[in-house]
Each structure stands twice: as C-alpha cells, then as structure tokens.
Amino acid sequence: SMVGVMAGIIASLAGPAAPIVLPIAAGAVLAVWLHEVYRQSDATLRRLMAYIVDLTLIMQNVFYLAVIGDRPITRRLIKFAFRSYKESDIKEAVHSEINAYVLQAGILERAGRDRVLEKIKELIDQNRMEAAEM
C-alpha cells in the first residue's frame, strides 16, 4: 500500500533528514487519500441523487396507474410502473443530467447539501407528470 511505501522511505531517511522528509511524505499520503475520497464521492453522490429522483418518479407512476385504472396497488402494478420508467426517455435524461451536474459541480458546491437538494427538486419538477395529465 501507499502508506507502507511511505513508512519505508521515512524509516530509511530517519535521522537528520526526518524533519524535512516527514512533512513531504505526510503531504503525499494526504493527497492520495483526498483524491480517493473525491473520486468515491462522485459515484456516491451520483447514485444517491439517481435513487431519490428515480424512486420519486416511479412512485408517481404507481399512483397515476392506480388512479386512472381505479385499481389497488399490487406487485404487478408496481413492476409495470418500474418497467415503464426504466424503459422511458425520462430515465435516460435524468441520469444524463445527474452525470453532467456531478462532473460540473466542484467539491465545494457539492459539499453544500442545499445545492444538491435544489438540483434533485429541479429534476423531479422537470420530469414529473402534471395534474392535468393525470
């Protein structure tokens, strides 16, 4: 691992060079760790946003199908609503917009949860069925 390599380097340079080498090595380890966290946070944010938006839009489909068909909500109805959403252009558009947002937004913007919540609301509002359609 990276930490093991750094520890070996530091141990071999211990002594008079340690005050100089130690901060440099610690900085390198920190940089590698931050890069990993940042890379993983992209995927986590993307998945979380997609989960919330997808679930909300699928639940809206379930409600719509139950109301227009005047039927109870069944497993079959839920599967149909899920499949309809999964195969729709809306899902593709939502996921493309989420990917674009995550790539464009800097870590500071994404760190503020209010901006992410605003984007989630925006995606739901843009892609939900209007009351007139129901």
Residue 17: inside a domain, yes or no? no
* Overall domain count for the chain: 1
Q: How far apart are CA 91 and CA 54, in angstroms?
A: 7
Q: What is the mean pLDDT of each run of 10 residues along the chain (134 residues)?
A: 57 56 57 56 87 92 88 91 92 96 75 80 88 53
Residue 46: inside a domain, yes or no? yes
Residue 83: inside a domain, yes or no? yes
Residue 10: inside a domain, yes or no? no
pTM of the predicted model as reported, rounded to 2 decimal places: 0.67
Read off the amino acid at residue 118: E
Residue 1: inside a domain, yes or no? no
Residue 94: inside a domain, yes or no? yes
Task: Give the pLDDT score at 132.
Answer: 53
10-45: buried (b, 16+ CB within 10 Å) or exposed (e) per residue?
beeeeeeeeeebeeebeeeeeeeeeeeeeeeeeeeb
Residue 99: inside a domain, yes or no? yes
Residue 97: inside a domain, yes or no? yes
What residue numbers bound the domain in which 108 lies? 40-133
Task: Give the pLDDT score at 96.
Answer: 97
Task: Give the pLDDT score at 22.
Answer: 52
Task: Give the pLDDT score at 83.
Answer: 93
